[in-house]
Amino acid sequence: MPGLHQSLVQPKKPLLVSFITASLLVFAMQSHQAQAEEAPSPNWQEDTLTGDWGGLRQAWYAKGVDIGVLHKSDVLSNVSGGLKRGTAWLGHTEIRATFDLDKLLGFSEATANFVYQSDLGSKFNTHYVGAFMGVDNIEVGTNTAQFYEAWLQKNFLDGHVSVLAGLYPVDTEFYVHETSGIFIQPPYGMAN
């Protein structure tokens, strides 16, 4: 009887696999055919310092290209204590480009994102303060310019499942405290 039992059970596995595969294909085709509601365009005049650039930003955004530049400067002074008195400038610049690959190339539910950053300036903590934890979250040991993010993401099943590959700082997703936006000292984040 063991042979009879195996012959009755064995055909169920390929049948189950075929059913699951067919179900996923049908669901994927339906989700591909369903058109997602278009997100509203950003208000360039209110949300950015330089506006819409005479309609150029909106035209690029409609084609799937969103670019931006962010700069932060801190000027710090040590007026007493620490290693010595003095003032220093620190700067952080990011250039960001996000591409909607559906609009650009017809590759549905896919996005490419690139962030290039530069950290420059004096070593305020090293030269003037000497604190163990540091005093500013944009101070770096060595002036650098590098890619901070460079990734591709593909969504499936109406965004319920996604695959992301590339250079991606996981602390931007899972380790962000609201208080880290208030203070400038560096103990916030996984990299510290």
- The three-state DSSP-derived secondary structure of the chain is CHHHHHHHHCCHHHHHHHHHHHHHHHHHHHHHHCCCCCCCCCCHHHHCCCCCCCCHHHHHHHHCEEEEEEEEEEEEEECCCCCCCEEEEEEEEEEEEEEEHHHHHCCCCEEEEEEEEEEEECCHHHHHHCCCCCCCCCCCCCCEEEEEEEEEEEEECCCCEEEEEEECCCHHHHCCCHHHHCCCCCCCCCCC
CATH class, range 37-181 = mainly beta
pLDDT at 187: 61
The amino acid sitting at 76 is L
Q: What is the pLDDT of residue 103?
A: 94
pLDDT tens-digit profile, the chain (192 residues): 455 444 444 445 565 555 565 555 544 444 444 444 566 788 878 888 888 888 898 999 999 999 999 999 999 999 999 899 999 999 999 999 999 999 999 999 999 999 999 999 988 988 999 888 888 888 888 899 999 999 999 999 888 899 999 998 877 776 666 666 666 666 655 554
Q: Model pTM?
A: 0.69
Distance of CA 189 to the CA centre of its chain: 15
Q: What is d(CA 60, CA 79) in angstroms, rounded to the nearest whole number?
A: 48
Going by C-beta distance under 8 Å and a sequence separation of 6 or more, which residues neighbour residue 61?
A: 41, 42
Radius of gyration of the chain (CA): 26
pLDDT on residue 34: 43
DSSP lists the bridge partners of residue 90 as 74, 121
The pLDDT assigned to 175 comes to 63
